């Protein structure tokens, strides 16, 4: 590497992450540009309609376990259940894929220094679901858009919490993955 290139490389303090998030204000601007009669709808009315629709979809997924298919072939969201397993690898170490209970683990580490040094973790057994764990999946296999591999979907906390309550109440069951 030449000295000039090295100097330019060291001075480059930019973040090279591409941020392309859009939110309700961006969608409202697009909505208003589409038709003249859309300008009559206020921003607050538009936001209320979108929030009500999103809460309806969230409740269908979390309360009834229903799959939601996005319009225009953009994929779908579904719940799957998995039975985590214990296994032994080639070196003879136990591979435990049960989910970690971080709250109980941190409390153990506060009280027991040797457990913290050994990095002992407390795991959920999920007796209420017979050992199964549930996950939300964004299925984009049948979606019809380019560069599917660069898109990901993050589910918000409200959806995860209400889904968890429904699972504990026994209202939801899902297909095996």
Percent of the chain past pLDDT 70, that is, above it, reads: 88
* Torsion from C-alpha of 29, 34, 39, 44, nearest 10 degrees: -40
Phi, psi of 150 (to 5 degrees): -95, -5
The answer to whether 135 touches 175, Cβ cutoff 8 Å, is no
pLDDT digits (tens, 9 = 90+) for 7-17: 555 566 666 56
* Number of C-beta neighbours around residue 78 at 10 A: 19
Residue 83 in this model has a pLDDT that exceeds 70: yes
What is the value of pTM for the model shown?
0.66
Q: Is 134 exposed, middle or buried (0-12, 13-18, 19+ CB in 10 A)?
A: buried
Q: Which two tokens stand for residue 71?
A: 């319009």
Secondary structure E strands in 38-177: 68-69, 76-82, 86-88, 94-96, 133-139, 175-176
Span between the terminal Cα atoms of the chain, in Å: 50
pLDDT digits (tens, 9 = 90+) for 16-55: 565 667 788 889 999 999 988 888 899 999 999 999 998 9
């Amino acid at each position: 590497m030449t000295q000039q290139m090295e100097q330019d490389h060291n001075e480059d303090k930019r973040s090279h992450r591409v941020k392309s998030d859009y939110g309700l204000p961006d969608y409202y601007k697009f909505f208003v540009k589409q038709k003249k009669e859309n300008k009559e709808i206020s921003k607050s009315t538009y936001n209320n309609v979108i929030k009500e629709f999103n809460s309806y979809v969230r409740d269908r997924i979390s309360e009834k376990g229903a799959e939601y298919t996005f319009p225009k072939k953009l994929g779908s969201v579904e719940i799957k259940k998995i039975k985590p397993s214990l296994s032994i690898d080639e070196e003879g170490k136990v591979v435990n894929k049960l989910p970690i209970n971080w709250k109980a683990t941190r409390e153990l580490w506060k009280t027991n220094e040797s457990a913290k040094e050994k990095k002992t973790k407390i795991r959920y057994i999920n007796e209420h679901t017979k050992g199964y764990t549930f996950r939300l999946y964004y299925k984009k296999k049948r979606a019809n858009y380019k560069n599917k591999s660069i898109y990901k979907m993050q589910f918000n906390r409200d959806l995860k919490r209400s889904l968890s309550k429904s699972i504990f109440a026994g209202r939801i069951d899902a297909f095996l993955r």
